[in-house]
Amino acid sequence: MNLNKVEICGVNTSKLPVLSNSKMKELFIKVKQGDKEAREKLIHGNLRLVLSVIQRFNNRGEYVDDLFQVGCIGLMKAIDNFDLSQNVKFSTYAVPMIIGEIRRYLRDNNPIRVSRSLRDVAYKALQVRDSLVNKNSREPSIDEIAKEMNMPAEEIVMALDAIQEPISLFEPIYHDGGDPIFVMDQISDDKNNDENWISSIAIKEAMQKLNEREKMILTLRFFEGKTQMEVAQEIGISQAQVSRLEKAALKHLRKYI
């Protein structure tokens, strides 16, 4: 995403105006009176807010023009719903709404499909969260959101987790000027630890000391996942013989390991 481009969606971002607080208040009063021209001036005068927000999403691989348009929808919603009597700066009110609109866009375009009911619960929770932030001027807890929605907190947590944007294992999470630390560096793997790796080498070396029939039976049974009956049919002996040879091979294998 190229955030250095001057023109986004036909808007010359280098020439965007900055409105003073008094001018903003004047325009908001006119907007409440139905003045459409004042609304357009408010939108144009706050596009820098949208630009600042979309920089937070510069690692998502999305087109800057698309994010800018979606951010403008959030900005317009903020302008239409802003209440001058609350004595809150417009930017404080608008930025979470712009971010929310962009996040909704990213979730709806997520290749990982989430059920409609889970999405509805999550979006409702986000709306309640925004409402509580505006009401109490602080971040609400999950329990507070759950109480407002009259739902178990566990369901809300599950719904919010389901719509989280997946991130790449190669997403850098820390960089101190040297080699970056990626998400995958912070994930443990119980299967591929040193102990299992050494055991795997020991088994391979021990297998080399078995005779050809024993190696074939153990390979078919435990590396290819075949049943004793399938092994018997493949090598032309009875299942009872396979069972006896398998036990003997395992006994030899344990001795060599």
Mark which of 92, 109, 126 sits at the end of a domain: 109
Please count the structural domains in the chain.
3
Mark which of 109, 141, 172 sits at the end of a domain: 109
pLDDT of residue 144: 92
Mark which of 187, 212, 227 sits at the end of a domain: 187
Are residues 249 and 200 part of one domain?
Answer: yes
pLDDT of residue 148: 92
pLDDT of residue 19: 83
Are residues 176 and 127 part of one domain?
Answer: yes
pLDDT of residue 254: 81
CATH number at residue 105: 1.20.120.1810
Long-range contacts from 62-66, C-beta under 8 angstroms, 24+ separation? 62/1, 62/106, 63/1, 64/1, 64/2, 64/3, 64/5, 64/8, 65/8, 65/9, 66/105
Are residues 131 and 180 part of one domain?
Answer: yes
pLDDT of residue 149: 93
Average pLDDT of adjacent 10-residue blocks, the chain of 257 residues: 57 76 89 90 89 78 82 91 84 88 78 71 89 88 92 87 67 62 62 59 79 88 86 87 87 78
Q: What domain range is 169 assigned to?
A: 110-187
CATH number at residue 168: 1.10.10.10
Residue 248, number of CB atoms within 10 A of its CB: 14
Are residues 116 and 93 part of one domain?
Answer: no
Are residues 249 and 173 part of one domain?
Answer: no
